[in-house]
Structure 1
Amino acid sequence: MLFYNSRHGDKILFSEHYVNLLLVDGHQALEIKRHEVLAFGQKRLSLQHKSGLQRKIAPAELFSRTNEKRSIKKVLVTGVAGIGKTVLVQKILFDFGQNKDHLAFDFVIHMSFRDLNLIDKPTNFRELVLRKNRHLSKVLDWILANDDKLLIILDGFDEFRHYRRCDVDVFVSKPEEDAEVNEILGSLLQGELLPNASVMLTSRPTAINHIPVGCIDRYVLIAGFSINEVQDFFLRYFQDAAVADRMFSTVSANELMLTLCYIPAFCSIVCCILNESKDLCGESPKTMTDIYVQYLVALLRSHTQSRTKTCPEDQGAKTNQQLSDIVLKLGRLAFKKLMEHQTLFYSSDQDVAGLEGCSLVSTFLDTTVAQEPGFTEEVFSFAHLTVQEFFASLYCAVTDQPLPDAMQSSDNQNNGHLDLFSRFLSGILSDRNSNFLSRQVGLHCREEKVEMYRRKITTDLAVLCENGAHILNCLHCLFEQQDPSMTLPALPELLRVNVSDETLAQMDHNAIKYFLALTEGKILSELDLTGTGVNHDSLSDIQPFLHRCQRLWLGENNLDMDAVQVVADVVKVSENLTHLGLGWTNIGDEELQALCTAIRVKKRVQELWMEGNRVSHRGLLSLADLTPDPLQIIVVIWNNLYESESESLCSQDRITANFTDEQLWQEWGEWVFRRCQVSSNEKLVTVLHKVCNMPNGWLELHWAKTFYSQLSQLIKSRIECCTEDDMRKKLQKFDNLLNL
């Protein structure tokens, strides 16, 4: 435990290199339909907004009681690839060995799932411990007998070959009882084996749904670095305050690089680029692909220079010629394993065996040794999940490898698994990066694939803009091209742009703005920003494009007066805006007054949706002169209105304060249900809080019966597969409510 898990043979004292990680108490579900790094990037934004509500905890507090009644025995620590889960484990072991923290335990047993993967026959827990800790053979029975003072750390659940089979029905209750490894671990997690022991489990989000339901007492999320920690990391990496400050200033000027530095592994990649390639490319990276291309070329150049110094000139030239072949072998490995959802590669694997003896492999692959009595096996993984995805896309770009089946259609139904892969592929196939790779590495993108992919982007955009399906990843693929001359002739004249229900980061806004700038002159028949976290700053950022919208949906965003004023400024000048959605945006009478003043200027807005806000009857009086022209429909259900006021308003046929308009609410119900179907459980509960507040009398309406029946079935299906107790209780509450 003396050394940090550094690369390239460096040995850095752990105590000198460790940078604090932000640990947040509480379960944070990730949207399963998105790439985990991207999903967490959005989740982290909401965590920052709610930082006052989340309890930050130190590693030493992981097993501290949250209240006097409940003891903490099973802790799940989760976080995306490269966020620092294994380093946190090392920190805990290091501090325990130094007698600094975790003094409530007398013993800590650490197991890696990479090692456990090598066991292919029945064994027992006692033997699992002794396999790598033979020195404990005389005292292990005593340790296990006093399990209330024992902490067991299981690192890398998502890397376990049998992680889908740990919710077992067959249990073992004694440490010496033989069983399959997954049965032993399932028994340990569910408290059948060593029930008094404390267990810490680490995992990427992709596997946590397979952890036995109800066995976790505390969920802890690693939220990576804050800006201060990024600066601290730079200082420790460069070991020179002046250099570190200069490099951090460079990154701070690049919004994309700074945003991604919350992931420690990516922060290391950025530092590597800055350290190795200060003059590599005159232009600062604009896209994710730009960064990774520079990372690849920087390490290849470093490798070539070191080899050339120690080899004759002809040998050095030979090495240069071999680099592209080795990169392709790495790419083939990355692609094949990505398609198989694998991030670990064992030396016994035929694809790995082909890389044996390549000195370049250690530059891009981390290597650990999994040990068994009388047997060891090397385990390889790329420095980060995104590095594997980059190599996979590079292989796909420069060979005749067809696109994955999940990317063949425009709807891109890959559950987010290939989102970054598709973005990297687009960036590599762009003219600037393909030319750069050709010059620097000797890898040439296939011309037919370049043209094919460009056609695919424009075709996919046309389909998505036509039917209003979710378009964000496709916009990112277009953004990665960075080709202002790229025309979009296939697009319809009226564009529907739907990026709803995802908290948008600045990178997302950049991709959206890039597309809107490319399509200047085309009308946006619909721009759906529902539930995206837009505020005054982000609305101001895209304000120049909003006047092109016919329908602008901004619901489920917390809009203050400054944000509403941006919308009002658009309304004042737009000749196109006819439908405006501001449901559940927390607006009140003052904000409505500002909108009314703006609507009077052009008198173009025909529908104004304001459900679920703070508008009172007095505020609605300001709309009197705007109905029926231009406002033909005004929706004000779930506002600060008394029943008598609602009845009075309903006598004005332009204002909807109840649910009796069958066609209007049927269409609304269909729209809400489509959103619920693709939402995470957390988002679903948020929507249910809004739409389940309906008077009993109106539940007899035909549209309402259909809508709430569909919701009930959806909730039941989510409950069946929900693994988190608190979330399951919330869903059950709404299921009970809808079945009264």
Structure 2
Amino acid sequence: MSPNSHCFPTGQTLLTVQQDIKAKLKHKYQHISEGIGHHGNQSLLKDIYTELYITEGGSGGLNNEHEVRQIEMASKKQTTQETPIKCNDIFKPKEQHCHMWDLKPGILLGKSMSEPLGQEISSWGDSECEVGESDTNGQEKPIRTVLTKGIAGIGKTVSVQKVILDWAEGKANQDVHFMFPLPFRDLNLKKDQYSLMQLLSHYFPELKEIDSIEDGETKTVFIFDGLDECRLRLDFKNNEKCCDVTKPTSVDVLLTNLIEGNLLPSALVWITSRPVAANQIPPECVDQVTEVRGFNDPQKEEFFRKKIPDQNLANKIIKHMKTSRSLHIMCHMPVFCWISATVLEIMLKEAEKDEVPKTLTQMYSHFVLIQIIVKNKKYNKATETNPKELSQSDKEMILKLAKLAFQQLQKGNLIFYEEDLRECGLDVTEASVYSALCTEIFKEESGLDQEKVYSFVHLSIQEFLAAVHALESCLDKKENVFPPKAVTKGEDNYEKTRFKVKSDKLRSDKMFNLHRRAVVQALKSENGHLDLFLRFLLGLSLESNQNLLRGLLTQTGSTTQTNEKTVERTVEYLSFNIKYESSPERIINLFHCLNELGANSLVEDMQTSLRSGTLSETRLEPDQCSALAYLLLMSEEVLEEFDLKTYNTSEEGYQRLLPVVKTCKRALLDRCKLTHKSCETLTSALQTPNSPLRELDLSYNDLGDRGVELLCVGLTSPLCNIQTLVLAGCKITYESSCETLASALQTPNCPLRELDLSDNDLGDRGVELLCVGLTSPLCNIQTLVLDRCDLTYRSCETLTSALRTPNSPLRELDLSYNDLEDRGVELLCVGLTSPLCNIQTLV
């Protein structure tokens, strides 16, 4: 539809509408809740907010690891310099980001914050550069759509709140006429058809004074917060195209067309999401991906020192957190620092040393109980301080919330509506009252339309309560929340070797069977969404943890001996799965589960051997290799070099050690009998955010063309940082590998600088295909090694064209041990004498 068919606002009308919307947004976003209940302390956001740390986040692709596993990698000591982006600069090309950024740690602190911030981020409009403008050469593509990723509780929503507030208060982005925050949790409820203008007018009635904002001069920003909470079907491939802001259609069609740029192509779009949901937006629809990062080690300590007034106590808490690597890693997440501070501030004052939480299960058990006590003291004037004694009403409500947590975790939902509550037998009024009393566990919020939206204060609390539900169902009703399904390879072997011998005893052990089925489901999960739930569930099987929650859980009267036998069977079952599970990444979580059960003998043995330097003298079994991989991945240190050959193990053992490459700078995997199957794990490692890996040597392994094809998936990822790749003697041919590699070399911003393909049967046809990539202006190869590749003088003719490519980065070329003859050298010299040639070394 032509813009002329709409009635556009006059300057005065637009200004009036803008002022009204600014006032509305200021009222909504200027406060942030602290303390307990809707009537708790309300702090001005500007008083406690400090800039978050946002970096370029690479691709919006799928990550198949639980967020806690991603935290483990993020907690490694940084070995590369990153460019931070202030959230008000988020729509600027990276070349324009301010270099005067102060990297001093920033923390949002409150008396009991549900989502404390402490990251460092960014403002479009206060600098000399306009939003999305080109650089001085006019080459930079304007940025229209930005996707900001960050794990749950890292501060995405609060950063959005701050940007909106700055605009509403006239502090930033005053070239923007309108900002429209449209959280997915609100949009989920819209089942009717709307035009874009009708939808905006529904949330912002002030816009009814304006027929359209499609004049090309009205600068508009749409903010879609919480893509991971979206329940709409965003079908970018099949949704109808819509270019008319006055045409009614379904909300999901409006969203896909707005994001694609069919609707209001001049509008800016900012989307926030947890990593697990980021792939819902096609990469071609996103101009820039950024990532909100968590606490580094100094920030962790600063948080505790600011949160705890007693500095001696704060130092004790910091010291305690450092004694447990798993707890210290979790502190990368600000919300976990808040949970830990809440628990340890009380525990270190009152508890015996042995009672202080050392595992995740213990920490979350104490946290839930402490919140109930605080709630009862504040509202019921209770004097009871024993966390192990709960009132019947508290018990019933927590167990109902636990059921909600489990059912919604199974569905992948972090936010819930009234219909979800009713499905779990929760009365809406009852839930609202409880959320008002105990907002540090469960919270109720009002959307733009004042509809009620419910959630747990953090995903990890939902996962913990889900585990409580699974356990209580087994203890109270003797029910297994997981139906019997197809077994894993580990379970199948377990059945064959153990189950037939002890079938009656094992079948009667309902707790063990719950554990068994939970492990099966967690191992089958494509994105690891049950990993932390499984840690909690197994941790809760310990008698000490069940005793801590005795006021909440049904007491079965089982003996200590019976409980210990169940734990023993579970440890044995986990060990079997560690032996037979094919995914090295899933195996790592099984070691975390053993840690929650206090069964660390295998890891401790590996730790002893690692410290003594005797590992190279020992023949390692596959499960020992998994334990070693777990140790190296959990370490905060980045390895300068990881040489797989130094370990004496089987081919399967080598396979289990492969995840370690993501935590080293130089990986030497040559002559380790790896196959194309190994490349699946390596491809995942190449796509690890902020990986220090720069050099990968895979020479003399039977990778074949299939292996190279898989590796190139990783090489073309925006997250890949590999600069040197050695594929000598990997049995690759020209038919597939050279064309795939040539395509990889033409990937924008490809970091690869050195490529060694020696001792492969590439032939002249292979070089011809490879040169398609070498002559691309996007290629960055400086060193190319092609010795013993069965080349003739015909290859020299092809290479000559590559040598004469304008601005070619190629500096070193190795063609030794090929039958080039004089004719080949003559052809090469044509290229070498070209003024465009930059070759410095020729072998």
Matches within 5 A, 1:332-347: 332-347=403-418
Alpha carbons of structure 1 residues 301 and 515: separation in structure 2 relative to 1, 3 Å = farther
2:73 is aligned with 1:11:
no
CA RMSD of aligned residues (A): 5.0
CA distance in 2, matches of 1:680, 1:280: 52
Aligned partner of 1:286 in structure 2 is: 358
Aligned partner of 1:617 in structure 2 is: none
2:267 is aligned with 1:197:
yes
CA distance in 1, matches of 2:650, 2:186: 58
SS in 2 for 1:192: coil
SS in 2 for 1:348: helix
How many residue pairs match? The answer is: 598
Alpha carbons of structure 1 residues 690 and 436: separation in structure 2 relative to 1, 3 Å = same
2:669 is aligned with 1:583:
yes
Q: CA offsets, 1:228-281, max 9 Å, x none?
A: 444554466457777766655554555433322222222222232234544256
Pairwise CA distance, 1:101: 2.4
Aligned partner of 1:644 in structure 2 is: none
Q: CA offsets, 1:193-241, max 9 Å, x none?
A: 1110111111111222111341111101111233444455446645777
Aligned partner of 1:370 in structure 2 is: 447
Structure 1 residue aligned with 2:594, among 471, 478, 485?
Answer: 478
2:127 is aligned with 1:57:
no
CA contact (8 A) 2:539 2:597 kept: yes
Aligned partner of 1:402 in structure 2 is: 480
Aligned partner of 2:513 in structure 1 is: none
Alpha carbons of structure 1 residues 515 and 156: separation in structure 2 relative to 1, 3 Å = farther
Pairwise CA distance, 1:136: 3.0
CA distance in 1, matches of 2:659, 2:578: 23
Q: Which amino acid aligns with 1:56?
A: P
CA distance in 2, matches of 1:73, 1:352: 42
CA contact (8 A) 2:294 2:333 kept: yes
CA contact (8 A) 1:535 1:559 kept: no
2:532 is aligned with 1:424:
no
CA distance in 2, matches of 1:353, 1:72: 47
Structure 2 residue aligned with 1:135, among 194, 206, 213?
Answer: 206
CA distance in 1, matches of 2:412, 2:663: 43
Q: CA offsets, 1:34-59, max 9 Å, x none?
A: 21x1242144246x53541x321111
Aligned partner of 1:626 in structure 2 is: none
Q: Which amino acid aligns with 1:207?
A: A
CA contact (8 A) 1:75 1:220 kept: yes
SS in 2 for 1:368: strand
Alpha carbons of structure 1 residues 638 and 108: separation in structure 2 relative to 1, 3 Å = closer
Pairwise CA distance, 1:467: 6.9
Alpha carbons of structure 1 residues 533 and 483: separation in structure 2 relative to 1, 3 Å = closer
Aligned partner of 2:423 in structure 1 is: 351
CA contact (8 A) 1:64 1:72 kept: yes
CA contact (8 A) 2:167 2:174 kept: yes
Pairwise CA distance, 1:291: 1.3
CA contact (8 A) 2:234 2:253 kept: no
Alpha carbons of structure 1 residues 560 and 96: separation in structure 2 relative to 1, 3 Å = closer
CA contact (8 A) 1:398 1:445 kept: no
Aligned partner of 1:23 in structure 2 is: 54
Pairwise CA distance, 1:12: 1.7
CA contact (8 A) 1:427 1:477 kept: yes
Pairwise CA distance, 1:100: 2.4
CA distance in 2, matches of 1:32, 1:259: 19
CA distance in 1, matches of 2:621, 2:223: 54
CA distance in 2, matches of 1:249, 1:687: 37
Pairwise CA distance, 1:114: 1.1
Matches within 5 A, 1:35-114: 35=66, 37-45=67-75, 49-52=78-81, 54-67=82-95, 68=135, 69-114=140-185
SS in 1 for 2:453: strand
CA contact (8 A) 1:479 1:511 kept: no
Q: CA offsets, 1:480-533, max 9 Å, x none?
A: 01157x9x9xxxxxxxxxxxxxxxxxxxx889759999xx99963242667966
CA distance in 1, matches of 2:563, 2:487: 13
Q: CA offsets, 1:618-650, max 9 Å, x none?
A: xxxxxxxxxxxxxxxxxxx998xxxxxxxxxxx
Show structure 2 runs of 5+ residues with no match. Answer: 1-28, 96-134, 491-519, 676-694, 758-765, 774-843
TM-score by length of 2: 0.60
Aligned partner of 1:600 in structure 2 is: none
Q: Which amino acid aligns with 2:32?
A: Y
Q: Which amino acid aligns with 1:433?
A: N
Alpha carbons of structure 1 residues 122 and 445: separation in structure 2 relative to 1, 3 Å = farther
CA contact (8 A) 1:144 1:150 kept: no
Show structure 1 runs of 5+ residues with no match. Answer: 489-508, 565-580, 585-606, 612-636, 640-656, 660-664, 720-724
CA contact (8 A) 1:682 1:727 kept: no
CA distance in 1, matches of 2:663, 2:254: 54
Alpha carbons of structure 1 residues 98 and 738: separation in structure 2 relative to 1, 3 Å = same
Pairwise CA distance, 1:367: 1.2
CA distance in 1, matches of 2:389, 2:633: 54
CA distance in 1, matches of 2:311, 2:469: 39
Q: Which amino acid aligns with 2:621?
A: S
CA distance in 1, matches of 2:596, 2:718: 29
Aligned partner of 2:242 in structure 1 is: 172
CA distance in 2, matches of 1:466, 1:72: 47
2:398 is aligned with 1:302:
no
CA distance in 1, matches of 2:276, 2:696: 37
Name the stretch that deviates more: 341-350 or 191-200. Answer: 341-350
CA distance in 2, matches of 1:280, 1:332: 31
CA contact (8 A) 1:31 1:680 kept: no
Alpha carbons of structure 1 residues 151 and 457: separation in structure 2 relative to 1, 3 Å = same
Aligned partner of 1:525 in structure 2 is: 621
Pairwise CA distance, 1:432: 2.0
Aligned partner of 1:413 in structure 2 is: 524
Paired-residue identity, %: 22
Q: Which amino acid aligns with 1:161?
A: R
2:455 is aligned with 1:455:
no
CA distance in 2, matches of 1:176, 1:560: 52
CA distance in 2, matches of 1:27, 1:473: 26
CA contact (8 A) 1:437 1:444 kept: no
CA distance in 2, matches of 1:114, 1:168: 23
Pairwise CA distance, 1:419: 0.8
Q: CA offsets, 1:537-596, max 9 Å, x none?
A: 6889x9xxx9996887577968999x99xxxxxxxxxxxxxxxx9427xxxxxxxxxxxx
2:549 is aligned with 1:437:
yes
CA contact (8 A) 2:720 2:751 kept: no
SS in 2 for 1:137: helix
Q: Which amino acid aligns with 2:43?
A: I
CA distance in 1, matches of 2:728, 2:341: 51
CA distance in 2, matches of 1:556, 1:31: 18
CA contact (8 A) 1:303 1:360 kept: no
Alpha carbons of structure 1 residues 322 and 96: separation in structure 2 relative to 1, 3 Å = same
CA distance in 2, matches of 1:310, 1:200: 46
CA distance in 2, matches of 1:240, 1:407: 54
Q: CA offsets, 1:676-706, max 9 Å, x none?
A: 69989859967997465669xx545xxx98x
CA contact (8 A) 1:234 1:244 kept: yes
TM-score by length of 1: 0.68
Q: CA offsets, 1:447-474, max 9 Å, x none?
A: 5888556424412412432577532111
CA distance in 2, matches of 1:286, 1:428: 14
Alpha carbons of structure 1 residues 102 and 224: separation in structure 2 relative to 1, 3 Å = farther
CA distance in 1, matches of 2:605, 2:407: 29
Pairwise CA distance, 1:113: 1.1
Alpha carbons of structure 1 residues 536 and 294: separation in structure 2 relative to 1, 3 Å = closer
Matches within 5 A, 1:630-649: none
